[in-house]
Amino acid sequence: MAFEFTDTNFQETALDKEGVAVVDFWAEWCGPCRMITPIIEELSAEYDGKAVIGKVNVDNNPNISTKYGIRSIPTILILKNGEVVDKHVGVTTKQVLDQKIQAHL
């Protein structure tokens, strides 16, 4: 299951950690977000131990969303060693996300 990033754990689990973190900003009421959820879940399982892949509920965690200027969801940020190295807004395929993750591992 994909990791759940929150306002309280984001610094420690995504920013302070070395390596790659993939953060999916979403909301329960967002149809496109629900379409991408199975892809995030699959990637989370496939990259277990290689990258932290998870989700941020924008309704429950406004601080992270504000910090990164999230205005449209789904928005996926790829961070490496705490820095944003890639960003995707909107629905995408597993193949596209997989290639983006591979490029930063």
**13 Cα distance to chain centroid:** 12
Q: What pLDDT sits at residue 1?
A: 81
Phi, psi of 99 (to 5 degrees): -65, -40
pTM: 0.95
Spell out the residues 6+ positions from residue 23 whose beta carbon is closer than 8 angstroms to its own: 5, 14, 54, 55, 56, 64, 76, 77, 78, 79
The tokens describing 74, both together, are: 């789904």
Give CA separation, 15 vs 22, 28, 57, 67, 80, in Å. 11, 25, 17, 13, 8
Domain ranges (residues) in the chain: 3-104
CATH numeric code, 3-104: 3.40.30.10
> Mean pLDDT across the stretch 47-74?
96
Rounded Cα distance between 99 and 105, Å, is 10
Q: What pLDDT sits at residue 81?
A: 96
Q: What is the mean pLDDT of the chain?
A: 96
Residues designated catalytic: 30, 33
Task: Tell me the per-residue pLDDT of 79-99, one tens digit each, with 9 for 90 and over.
Answer: 999 999 999 999 999 999 999
Coil/strand/helix, residue 82 = coil
